[in-house]
Amino acid sequence: MARLPRLIVPGQPHHVIQTGNNNQPVFLDAEDYQTFLGWLRTAAKNYKVAIHAYVLMPNHLHLLVTPADENGLGQMMQWVGRYYVPYFNQKYSRSGTLWNGRYKTSLIDAEQYFMLCSRYIEFNPVRNGMVGKAEDYPWSSYCHHAGIRPDGLVIDHAQFWALGNTPFQREAAYIALVEVPLSEEDIATVSKALLKGWPLGSEQFKTTLQNRVKRQVLPAKRGRPFKIKPAAT
Please state the φ and ψ torsions of residue 210, each to the nearest 5 degrees.
-65, -40
Q: Using one digit for the tens of pLDDT, what is the confidence trace for 145-170?
A: 999 999 999 999 999 999 999 999 99
Residue type, 62: H
Please state the pTM of the whole predicted model. 0.89
Cα 210 to Cα 104, 124, 203, distances in angstroms: 19, 30, 10
Q: pLDDT over 70 for what percent of the chain?
A: 89
Q: Using one digit for the tens of pLDDT, what is the confidence trace for 34-67?
A: 999 999 999 999 999 999 999 999 999 999 999 9
Each domain of the chain, given as residue ranges in start order, spans 14-203
The set of residues, in sequence order, having a beta carbon less than 8 Å from that of 86 and lying 6+ positions away, is none
Rg (CA), the chain: 19
Residue 63 and residue 117: Cα distance in Å, rounded? 10
Q: pLDDT over 90 for what percent of the chain?
A: 77
pLDDT for the residue numbered 198: 87
Q: Using one digit for the tens of pLDDT, what is the confidence trace for 203-215?
A: 888 778 877 776 6
pLDDT for the residue numbered 158: 96
pLDDT for the residue numbered 231: 43
Q: Using one digit for the tens of pLDDT, what is the confidence trace for 84-120?
A: 999 999 999 999 999 998 899 999 999 999 999 999 9
The CATH fold of domain 14-203: Alpha-Beta Plaits (3.30.70)
